[in-house]
Structure 1
Amino acid sequence: MDTVSEFATPPATAAAPRRPLAAKIDRVLGVIVEIPAAILVVAEVVVLFSGIVARYLLHTPLTWSDELASTLFLWLAMLGAVVALRRGEHMRMTALVSRCTPEWRNFFDALGVAAGLGFLLLIIGPAFRWAEEEAFITTPAMEISNVWRAAAFPVGVGLMIAFSLLRLTMRSGVPQALLALALVALAVAGFWWLGPMLKTLGNLNLIIFFVGVVGFCVFSGVPIVFSFALATFGYLALTTRVPTMTLVGRMDEGMSHLILLAVPLFVFLGLLIEMCGMAKAMVRFLASLLGHVRGGLSYVLIGAMYLVSGISGSKAADMAAVAPALFPEMKARGAKPGDLVALLSATGAQTETIPPSIVLITIGSVTGVSIAALFTGGLLPGVVLAIGLCFVVARRYRHDDLSHVVKAKWPEIGKTFIIALPALALPFLIRAAVVEGVSTATEVSTIGIVYSLIIGLLVYRQFDWSRLGQILIDTASLSGAILIIIGAASAMAWGLTQSGFSRTLVEIMTHLPGGAIGFMAVSILAFIILGSVLEGIPAIVLFGPLLFPIAKLVGIHEVHYAMVVVLAMGLGLFAPPFGVGYYAACAIGKVNPDEGIGPIWGYMLALLIGLIIVAAVPWFSIGFL
């Protein structure tokens, strides 16, 4: 079954043809893009860490560091999005498409590429005009033209057009590619022809574009970023007088907020700790403590995901680091593969609030809530849900036969603890750096990166230089896929706000029966659904600016509300049949998704009960603020 998540979107079916000339062009152009993208990740780490050293140790702040980091960031986001498109790693929903025959799947893959190509061709002109307008702006610190930064957008769009054409040529049959292109062209022409009539429909256009177009595109397997972008472009171009160049500006504003620099840096940190052996050291320590009790390794899995989430901030890195270290031994003890991926998925949802969660960073970026407060508030809700999962594990494994399992001796436990201590110290180091004012939430990941490099080289000595380049490229790709969705969702949210939709939503939500309780209940249900369809980040960017002010208006603390909606989205993201995180866990565990659907519902019920407890007791979220 095809899977889609923050990890990757699989390439088209293996039966699709590959043409030698196109493949050669793709490889050469891919290298030309991947090398600068990898260098930009390193450059961001160096610039931000230099800023920390200059400010905290030398007491001479670098006035240009944030400006340079922001300029490089837009280039990193756009080149990363290009790499993600080339590798087929933009987020898609394929729950329906995956049920089709291989021929139809190949067609829907081609349709997704063709739809993205349609948007890119529509936006390339406005992108160049926007860059030309930015040429008149001079940056205050470096005193250079802002076109050096703004050029990233048209360059990125141009490269994505090239790779879209190459993907259609290489991975789709001629009939499927031509049919997909024809359908997209026909749809664009049809909407353009209906433009005068659409202008007379008023707010009915919100349903046509933001429900109809988005829904059709998402469920057809079109990447979420292009589903959002096509709907927003069509709404602005056909029903308003807003210049289409505004869409480019809104996407830029949404995806290049400096605080979002934490996304690629924490992704890189997560991949780095797995390569350096830090995650494995923590897992071994927990296994030595609990490996001899019934369901012991399942408790270790829950605890390990909690600890690793506190380091990486990336669910991809979390599950990829923990599962290979535990699954073989768990299977040897009789655990069923389906139950393993079910628990892995459940722990993915459980740890969504553990700092430095990328979703929490996104919430802080789009709503203005303190990220330090979100990081503090996210620790206990994860514990509440972990306790619920432990109850399910205790019941499920109460009859385990452990006669062949040897309990670890205290000297062995002490040895694994000493080995794991440098890794266990990292979450506390990250948190202390933010709380003590050594670095901002954006910069703190660079401290973790430098620390991990030192520990990997000098302590664990597992640093694999040959993998470093690929890790940097993977970081750029995943970050680009995330950031461009944030940009598209920000533009879409702006369009909804300008239409007056936000005022209508405020009016409806503030008059729900039950006041704050009714609002919280509706929010939980809505974000579970949104989490399963849109994934956490685009849902937060789209609805966070609209709903968080309402929560405050009805008397709900913003940090408490953030914890509830993040956990609700996590529940939707990792629950089958639509939760794409579940299928990603199956891919990491190399288990057929059908095997885990039965066992997962017990864990999901425990998570839902835990979510209700967190929602009902604000202290779990704000007790330590």
Structure 2
Amino acid sequence: MLLGFPVFLVLLAAVTSTLVLFMQVPLTVLHQTMFGSLDAVALLAIPFFIYAGELMGSSSVAGRMVDAVRASVARMPGNLGVTTVGTATIFGAVCGSSAASVATIGRTMLPALTRTGHRPEFSAGLITAVGAIDVIIPPSIPMIIYGTAASESVARLYAAGVLPGLLIAGLLILYVMWAARRDGIRSETVFSWRELGLKVRRGAWALGAPFIILGGIYGGVFSPTESAAVACIYAIAITRFIYRDLSWAQVLHCASRTAFFTAQILIIVACASVFSWLLTVNQVPANLVAWIQAMEVPVWGLLLAINVLLLVVGCFIDPLSAILLLSPLLVPLVTAVGVDPVHFGIIVMVNLAIGLFTPPFGVNIFVAQSALGLDLKTIYKGLAPFMVVYLVALGLITYVPQISLVSMRLFMN
């Protein structure tokens, strides 16, 4: 990995070497485990949600969301920053892709933030960090991967992610409002019920997507996987027939990009599953659990150590790879000390969301740099306060499990 090889190739090489040199196991197990790991209905949601995000990101959907949110928060100090947070949260409830959120919302909001006098580092930090909410707010692609790796219900994880995601959004809004007062940023818009009605009506179809997706899941109308397919049909309907933003050629182009991104994800899933199998048959998780139990580490100390580990790992490895690498080791460990695996899943999501905008290899940093033309030095300077906000949220979510579990019970009953 230090030499720059792809993660899937590192995992595959490690497993293959171990099987050939140290284990008396037929090599056919390699193929069987790789292909068997992809034979999961939950994984079908990945290409569907990516496709829905591609369609909406290529159309005027994000702009309509921005207009509606901005009209509703016109009275609030720092309303442009609040609009950025609110739109990212809504957009995350449609596609679940942090990078797509940074690129799509950043193109709309960065010029407006710059024009109204916000500091360049504040604007860069906000846009880069706010997309990480999409990992926590359902529907989240990393949650699907965690659910598969940990044999946990994706619907339960989605339900548990609602309040933590809203908590992070709320803390970000409070900081944005404080920063606007500190910098003397005045609103350039005046709240108007008429304007709000016009913007909401104009963006009604775009704003309806999260309600259809999440309402269908928690209303028992369809499963998370089926909701992803519904999101695709809905996205095609509004972008092609209602808003008429996309031609059929553009719809097909979004499909080809989706196939490419899906292949990138699933090849990591297949190779990481073989790695997980190797750890399990060699009883690595069981031995690790026994070792930790023998040390009598308190639960709070174990969770603190895991948070530090995940924060460090998130600086260097993308969330999907990190989940697939560490879940076979960490889930049995925390389950043995009484931590709910759903609650732990949300802890993992928040940690890896922070990793998305943490130097040196945060994915959102590179998206902001390449797609929005932002300077790396400016981004790094602006990220520090947002990292503090996320760490405060991580502490609350880690040590107040009811934030996640109440949310799950509320939506699953």
TM-score range, shorter chain: over 0.9
Deviations 1:267-310 (A, max 9, x none): 00101122342222111111223356432211111111111010
Counterpart residue number, 2:315:
532
Which has the larger displacement, 543-552 or 365-374? Answer: 543-552
Taking only aligned residues, the RMSD between alpha carbons, in angstroms, comes to 1.9
Looking at structure 1, the residues matched to 345 and 212 of structure 2 have their Cα atoms a distance apart, in angstroms, of 24
Shift of the 498–426 alpha-carbon distance from structure 1 to 2, 3 Å rule, reads same
- The residue number in structure 2 matching 1:484 is 267
Q: CA deviation at 1:408?
A: 4.0
Note the alpha carbon deviations across 1:463-483, whole angstroms, 9 max, x for none. 233322221111011110011
User: 2:364 corresponds to which residue?
Assistant: 581
1:541 alignment counterpart: 324
Q: 1:385: Cα distance to partner?
A: 1.6
Cα offset, 1:333, TM superposition: 1.1
Structure-to-structure mapping, 1:277-426, within 5 angstroms:
277-291=60-74, 293-401=76-184, 405-426=188-209
- Superposed, 1:424-439 pairs within 5 Å as 424-439=207-222
List aligned pairs for 1:154-169, cutoff 5 A.
none
Counterpart of 1:284 in structure 2: which amino acid? Answer: D
Which AA in structure 1 matches 2:126?
L
Q: What aligned pairs does 1:162-241 form with structure 2 within 5 A after superposition?
A: 218-241=1-24
Q: Give the Cα separation in 2 of the matches to 1:344 and 1:276.
A: 19
**In structure 1, how many angstroms separate the alpha carbons of the residues matched to 2:188 and 2:276?**
55
- Return 243-252 or 373-382, whichever deviates more: 243-252
Secondary structure of the structure 1 residue equivalent to 2:135: coil
The superposition leaves residues 177-232 of structure 1 with CA deviations (integer Å, 9 ceiling, x where unpaired) of xxxxxxxxxxxxxxxxxxxxxxxxxxxxxxxxxxxxxxxxx122111111211111
Q: Residue deviations 1:6-59, cap 9 Å, x none?
A: xxxxxxxxxxxxxxxxxxxxxxxxxxxxxxxxxxxxxxxxxxxxxxxxxxxxxx
1:274–1:490: structure 2 CA closer, same or farther, 3 Å change rule?
Answer: same
Cα distance in 2 between the residues matched to 1:581 and 1:526: 20
Aligned to 2:396: 613
Map 1:229-268; keep pairs closer than 5 Å.
Answer: 229-268=12-51
State the match for 1:601 in structure 2.
384
Letter aligned with residue 31 of structure 2: V
- 1:463-507 deviation line (CA, Å, top 9, x unaligned): 233322221111011110011001111111111222232222112
List gaps (5 residues or longer) in structure 2: none
Q: Using the TM superposition, name which of 352-361 and 545-554 deviates more.
A: 545-554
3-state DSSP of counterpart to 2:132: helix
Contact 1:341–1:589 (8 Å) recurs in 2 = no
Summarize the Cα distance change of 1:299–1:400 in structure 2 as closer, same or farther, 3 Å threshold. same
Post-superposition offset of 1:401: 4.8
CA contact (8 A) 2:126 2:383 kept: yes
- Quote the Cα distance in structure 1 between the aligned partners of 2:289 and 2:329: 8
Cα distance in 1 for residues equivalent to 2:121 and 2:26: 52
Number of matched residues? 408
Do the aligned residues in 2 keep the contact of 1:255 with 1:484 (CA within 8 Å)? no
Paired residue type of 2:222: S
- Taking a change above 3 Å as real, the CA distance of residues 508 and 533 of structure 1, as seen in their structure-2 partners, is farther
SS of equivalent to 1:397: helix
**Whole-angstrom CA distance in 1 between matches of 2:359 and 2:395:** 20
Render the CA deviation track for 1:124-144: whole Å, top value 9, x for unaligned. xxxxxxxxxxxxxxxxxxxxx
Name which of 423, 442, 460 aligns with 2:225.
442
Report the TM-score, using the length of structure 1 for normalisation.
0.62
Query: Equivalent of 1:562, from 326, 345, 349?
Result: 345
| 2-structure distance, mates of 1:510, 1:363 | 24
Partners of 1:574 and 1:582 within 8 A in 2:
yes
State the distance in 2 between where 1:431 and 1:288 align.
24
Q: What CA distance in whole angstroms lies between the structure 1 residues aligned with 2:26 and 2:124?
A: 48
What is the DSSP-based 3-state SS (H/G/I as helix, E as strand, rest coil) of the residue aligned with 1:219? coil
Contact 1:228 1:488 in 2 (8 A): yes
How big is the shift at 1:611? 0.5
**SS class of match (1:340):** helix
Q: Which residue is 1:272 aligned to?
A: 55
Q: Is the 8 A contact 1:520 1:615 kept in 2?
A: yes
How far 1:513 sits from its partner (Å)?
4.8
Supply the distance in 1 between the matched residues of 2:326 and 2:258 (Cα, whole angstroms).
26
Q: Secondary structure at the match of 2:203?
A: helix
**Structure 1: which 5+ runs fail to align?**
1-217
374, 377, 380: which is aligned to 1:591? Answer: 374
In the TM superposition, what whole-angstrom CA distance separates every residue of 1:152-189 from its partner, at most 9, and x where no partner exists?
xxxxxxxxxxxxxxxxxxxxxxxxxxxxxxxxxxxxxx
Letter in 2 for 1:612: G
Residue 485 of structure 1 aligns with an amino acid whose one-letter code is I
1:577 Cα deviation from its structure 2 partner: 2.1
* Aligned-partner Cα distance in 1 for 2:186–2:398: 42
Q: Which amino acid aligns with 2:145?
A: T
Q: What secondary structure sits across from 1:352 in the alignment?
A: helix
Match of 2:252 in 1: 469
By relative contact order (CA 8 Å, sep 6+), the higher-ranking structure is 2
Partner Cα distance (2:399, 2:253) in 1: 45
**Structure 2 CA distance for aligned equivalents of residues 491 and 412 of structure 1:** 55
Q: 1:522 to 1:401 in 2, by over 3 A?
A: closer
